[in-house]
Amino acid sequence: MSLAGSGSKIVALAGMGVAAGVLVAGIALPAVGGVGLGVISVKDELNLNPEDLKEPPLAERTTILDANGKQIAQFYEEYREVVPFDQIADIMKTAIISIEDYRFYQHGPIDIEGTIRALATNLHSGGVSQGGSSITQQYVKQVLLNQADSKKEQQKAIEASYARKLNELRYAMAIEKKYSKDQILEKYLNIAYFGASANGVEAAAKRFFGVKASELTLAQAATLAGAVQDPNATDPNRGKKFREALLHRRNIVLDRMAELGKISKADAAEAKAEKLGYKGTPLPGGCENSEYPYFCMYVRQDILRNRDFGKTPKARLEFLNRGGLTIKTTISPKMQAAADKAIKKRVSPTDYAMASEALVEPGTGQIKALASSRAYGNSKRKKEMSYNVVADAEHGGGTGFQAGSTFKMFTLVTALKEGMKVNDGLTAGAGFSSGYSGFKNCKGESVGDPSHTVTNDEGAPGFRTLQTGTWGSVNTFFMALEQRVGLCDVVKTAKSMGIKRSDGLDLVEVPVFTLGVNEMDPLTVANAFAVLGARGKYCEPMAISQITDRYGKVEKYKPKCRQAIDAEVADAAAHVLEGVFTKGTMRGVGGIGRDAAGKTGTTDSQSTAWFAGTTPDLAGAVSIGDPRGAVTHKLNGVTIGGRYYGSVFGATIPGPIWKDTMIAALKGTPKTSFEPINSSRFGGCGSGCAPKKKVESDDDDGRGNRDGNDIIVELGNEEAREQQGPQNGWEQGRERGREQGPEQGPDLGLEFGREQDLER
């Protein structure tokens, strides 16, 4: 019998001065507990007409995929996976109907018989102590509960009142008009809460038993059907007492199914003999459970801070946690594995020093890997990290580490932008200091510091060109070069290539800007070097390539790029930085078997160490430092990866990590060459040519005496090498320097024999 027909006459119980409930016309109730009950028409008075129920989409999990389409993480507010009716086991449908609403397919929006029993009990108790709700009514209640934005609204959705019951009935009447019985049952099974944080039958099947809803057995189906009555009281995740309560409820369901003839008594007995079988399958999702936790954190923050995904933080959080999205990302499992392996080879997870690496594709900004030696988590004992150590604060990161001499790249690029040629140079002293007006920041303020003298960690004083000064990473040369081209111009170059502080504060514009005093994260530095690999094109770091919503609509995302520097300037800078591997601070480590440009970086007294570089196909940056505080916990006299280091420099650990990563990550990728330098524009020297040097005959022995070292100190200057030949002077000095080391004085072979020089 249904209330849907317009001619239905609605009657209500009256008594004790209260409207007690609603029934279909023609049903007269006997006196209950001595109370006389009459039949009255209340259709108009109670406004018992169908009322449309707003049914917002259910909160569904969001799935994160790698570039190959493999799931790497999930986000959700409620652990739920919505499944269609045909993917739910028939025995599950039978079990839930048997225990919750056995006449579901026979009655309308309200079960008259069940309601009579419930009302009689309620009248006798003087309140609402028994439900009697149909599955349709229960669905309505769950929808209202899911809509509630506050605790007050949630309480109203489940309060024990006749007003709520009447509203439920109005909505149920509309639901029965709108959907078939199968559709209502499907919706109910997908919205119902089963306990153990599992919403919907698919999530419950996986959480409780490690199977899909379509694979549930009789005993398992009866268990879930029994759980929906009071999921908190039978939550198996809460302990033994609650599991015993759930087992009891399961057996009640089995007995009821046998009583109704849905299963045989023998089947019920066999199922009751089974153990509960609760597996407690770990809840999926969350970055802590991802293979790539730091990348996962980046994706999450990318959505939460981007107004494209919602106008307010709350809207963006709901979009991520409730949207039922499938998000395809840019991470490459192959490249991530290469970075992880290279780091693990040299740095242990429990070392105080922490190594981190980011890989980015030039020309797209696609993030291919975010790796660290530290595991993600909250265990201090295991030295786990609870923030994104590879990215900036906007993406869940921290303050980062000072980037050291990797910043000399921006001064080099600025010099090339302003017309200098690769063999133009200037004389670098043993120390450098300037007056107050020697440097001006981008506000035009004088920021020179005459009280501070910069000295050289690498190389010897003398004339340096853009090439030799870069290869030797000579501090005083770059201070003088920055002063010549202008501090503000160098800052502007860095900003145009995507440089910003990891902590989100303004860049510190001081004379030692070129020496890398600003705190950086590996991703930002890697992406800046990618500009050279992309011939001057800067692209925003990109983690998400495609989003498919719950309805199958696909949104693809394209790289956001702009030309940051002139293409030929980028080519010339890459040309100079290629020499770092063969003639500079990475010569002891070597190249990667394909075109690559890079720069080492070591901060004062080895607080932190870096290597950053790029190929035309992939860019990367590696940092190492102590997260307890790099200034107070320097990389001197430390054991890292089981090996003792007197001092750690850019080429000691970061450089080899970068090299191993690149070789493995690019294996199978065709070798792409940098564009050749425009020799007519940048070749040779212009107004800053090297002064003429007299070559003494006793220099041929390569012993590095000061009067015979004029060619050696050029560190491979092309003109000098042509004059002397590859086996004279510089080359012989290098070999003799390696043999005799520092005993012959600081000028011998430019100290090639010193271990720290080789490492740096």
Q: Is the dihedral of CA 494, 564, 616, 300 positive or negative?
A: positive
Four-residue CA torsion sign, 469, 475, 479, 482: positive
Summarised one tens digit per residue, pLDDT across range 225-270 is: 999 999 999 999 989 999 999 999 999 999 999 999 999 999 999 9
Q: Where are the beta strands (DSSP E) in 374-492?
A: 401-402, 425-428, 431-432, 454-455, 462-465
Select from 470, 450, 556 the least CA-distant residue to 514.
Answer: 470
Note the pLDDT of residue 714. Answer: 40
Alpha helix ranges (H) inside 389-506 = 408-417, 466-471, 475-485, 487-496
pLDDT tens-place string over residues 493-544: 999 999 999 999 999 999 999 999 999 999 999 999 999 999 999 999 999 9
CATH architecture of 325-624+654-687: 3-Layer(aba) Sandwich (3.40)
pLDDT score at 536: 98
Say whether 342 sits in a helix, a strand or coil: helix
pLDDT (0 to 100) of residue 120: 55
Task: List, in sequence order, every residue forming a beta bridge with 597; answer none if it has no partner.
Answer: 614
Spatial contact of 505 and 464, defined as CB atoms under 8 Å apart: no
The two structure tokens encoding residue 187: 């919706």
Long-range interactions of 231-239: CB distance < 8 A, separation 24+: 231/193, 231/194, 231/195, 232/195, 234/195, 235/195, 235/196, 236/195, 236/196, 236/208, 236/276, 236/278, 236/280, 237/195, 237/196, 237/197, 237/280
Per-residue model confidence (pLDDT) at position 748: 33
Task: State what percent of residues in the chain have pLDDT above 90.
Answer: 66
Instruction: Kindly give the pairing relationship between strand 198-199 and strand 367-372.
Output: unpaired
DSSP letters, 710-746, are TTGGGSS-HHHHHHH-TTSTHHHHHHHHHHHGGGG-T
pLDDT above 50: residue 169:
yes
Q: How many helices (H) and strands (E) does the chain have?
A: 24, 26
CA atoms in the 13 A half-sphere facing the CB of 252? 15
Residue 186 to residue 190: CA distance in whole angstroms: 6
pLDDT band at residue 436, thresholds of 50, 70 and 90? Answer: confident
Residue 708 has pLDDT above 50, yes or no: no
Distance in angstroms (rounded) separating the CA atoms of residues 417 and 753 = 36
Percent of the chain at pLDDT exceeding 70: 80
CA atoms of 306 and 43, how far apart (whole Å): 51
The model carries a pTM of: 0.76
Q: How far is CA 135 from CA 131, 181, 251, 455, in A?
A: 11, 10, 21, 80
> Between these two residues, 318 and 542, which has the higher pLDDT value?
542
Arithmetic mean of pLDDT, 219-223? 98
| pLDDT classification of 755: cutoffs 50, 70, 90 | very low
pLDDT digits (tens, 9 = 90+) for 663-691: 999 999 999 999 999 999 999 999 889 88
pLDDT of residue 449: 87
Is the pLDDT confidence value at 128 over 70?
no
User: Does the domain formed by 193-282 have CATH 3.40.50.150?
Assistant: no
**The pLDDT of residue 275 is above 60:** yes
The amino acid that residue 408 corresponds to is K
Question: Which has more pLDDT, 651 or 9?
Answer: 651
Question: Which sequence spans correspond to the domains of the chain?
Answer: 193-282, 325-624+654-687, 696-759
What is the separation of C-alpha 406 from the centre of its chain, rounded to a whole number of angstroms? Answer: 25
Confidence bin at 589 (pLDDT 50/70/90): very high
Q: Higher pLDDT residue, 755 or 298?
A: 298
Averaged pLDDT for residues 378-395: 91
Q: Which pLDDT score is estimated for 11?
A: 34
Average pLDDT, the chain: 84
Task: 199-205: list long-range contacts, CB under 8 Å, 24+ apart.
Answer: 199/58, 199/59, 199/78, 199/79, 199/80, 200/58, 200/80, 200/81, 200/82, 200/83, 201/83, 201/88, 201/92, 202/80, 202/81, 202/82, 202/83, 202/87, 202/88, 203/79, 203/80, 203/81
Residues 37/13, Cβ–Cβ less than 8 Å: yes
Tell me the three-class secondary structure of 34-74, residue by residue: CECCCCEECCCCCCCCCCCCCCCCCCECEEEECCCCCEEEE
pLDDT number for residue 160: 66
Residue 149: is its pLDDT beyond 90?
no
Residue 114 is predicted with a pLDDT of 60
